[in-house]
Amino acid sequence: MSISIDKHIPMPKRTKIPDLPLTEMEVGDSFKAPINAGDATEVRALRQRISRWQRTSTSRFSCIRDKDGETGESIMRVFKVS
């Protein structure tokens, strides 16, 4: 079996999620996530970020796809549930 080496292939752009205010939240608080909710890659990155953060915390969060009350566009909202 032979594996060919490709040259000059650009590396895909990584999805960067901005810092989230998870430590500042109290139970019942929520925030609109600063991502494009229509982009599955960004939604997955947000969910992974929160999942990784919960591994070292006793707090629990829930990510919900919602509609923005002002614009009607699809957004992701993060709730602190415990």
HEC assignment per residue over the chain: CCCCCCCCCCCCCCCCCCCCCHHHCCCCCEEECCCCCCCHHHHHHHHHHHHHHHCCCCCCEEEEEEECCCCCCEEEEEEECC
7-11, 59-63, 66-70: least confidently modelled range: 66-70
Percent of the chain with pLDDT over 90: 72
16-38, pLDDT tens digit by residue? 888 899 999 999 999 999 898 99
53-82 average pLDDT score = 92
pTM above 0.85, yes or no: no
The predicted structure's pLDDT at residue 72: 85
Which pLDDT does position 25 carry in this prediction?
Answer: 95
